[in-house]
Structure 1
Amino acid sequence: MFHKWTRCGEYKIEQVKTDRGLRSYIRPVPDSGFIKYDFMDVHRKQGSRRMGENTIVPSLVNLDTSNEKAILNFVNQFGLLGLLPYNYLEPMLLELGTERKLIFIPERRGKNIADVSEVEREYLFALNGRNYTDLIHSVSEPLEEFKKAVLRFQDLNNHVSAVGLNRGIAVNDNGEWILEWSFDSLLSAAYFFLDECLLSNFWIGTCPRCSKYFLSSVKTQNYCSRRCDDAERKAKSRQALKERVIIRIT
């Protein structure tokens, strides 16, 4: 069983004046509410030999980062990547002599210990004693940082192994004790699901019709979807008909 992820009801892209100048952010639309969903709802069905084109891994691999409309469609379906929890652990109190201050400890290599105020400015939120776990679903993400994270995920030749995976014991609706898996972010879940597929005899192909990537364990699959398969078959049929007509005329 996987822990649930939370997204806002709607997101928008807008420019925000910051101490680093005018920056574009992906932000929750105020009062749009929150939607919880199970991570398995955005992954392939249990036992399925094909990865649906609208599941998280193909959607992220094929996301056009130059198209803001496509980015908004993605986040309105899945939510933000969760760059804050992906990059940082929960804030902790650091004591340096007589000085005490809240800091963020980096979750990943390449990040430095950061003062809370610095991270608040980066992700446009204010901690103010609020529950951090609840807060991370209502922060904003810098558009350029979102794009960079997507492009790193899409670099399949330099694939990064899954990180941010935790497990624990929980009680289900029937009162039974079960093992529950959770992720610190949507991005961590995507990396995990990609790893799981590649370790389960799935392979990555490129659709000759639309050039999108697709994942499948069916060796005979040539196209990303039935739509592209049918379109290519019809195109070949029309071309064959044209050739027969030309032969008759000549």
Structure 2
Amino acid sequence: MKRIGGNFLFGILILLFGLALLINNLGIMDISIGSIISTWWPLFVIAGGLSLLLNHGSKGEVLSGIFILFLGVAFLLGNLEIWNINLSFVFKLFWPTMLILIGVSFLTGKRGSGKSNYAIMGGVERNKEAWTLDETGFVAFMGGIELNFKYAEIPEGETAIDLTAIMGGIEIRVPKDIDVECKGSVILGGLELLSRSTGGLIASTSSSQKGTGDSKKKLTFYCRAIMGGIEIKSID
């Protein structure tokens, strides 16, 4: 089945609003654009939810799509005065649930066995000069981390590396000649792991790379993005 992109759904809505504006400006019909926007803006939220549901890559994206779709429909029904839903109760449940999920994500999953490096409202860069991979945990809290493993001294065998981005970003570059495996989860953020990407309220994905060389080295990344983003790309 062909994937239906979110751009397609949003394009249809923008096209319809444009046609309404054109008809109004030509005097063919007297359409209140302001009234249309104030009433029907939840359609964009609904389109976002449908896009996740139609193109989901994980169970997490399905849950995100359902939640966003529910919010869009609730706002639309309220604007149409068909059904007034008390959304304040929904949000009272939403944030505690997010905090619980964040706590669970920290308590579960594998970790690197080495020491950790933190970028707190600052930055860590290792992308121009040779460096030794003696730290297997990297945390970006309202900061940024850039690591280029092309210049890293990587031990033979498998090395597990834990990446956590909280309201921050982590950019990783890995050479194509070594094996790489990526596993990640995201809460209110985004992941781009080699050939796969995901994002939303709650989502998860995984990706891998078979090295082009004869290297016995392997990097395994365990990624966690919370209101932040992690990107892992393969380079020559």
TM-score, length of structure 2 as denominator length: 0.25
Instruction: Tell which has more relative contact order, 1 or 2 (C-alpha 8 A, sep 6+).
Output: 1
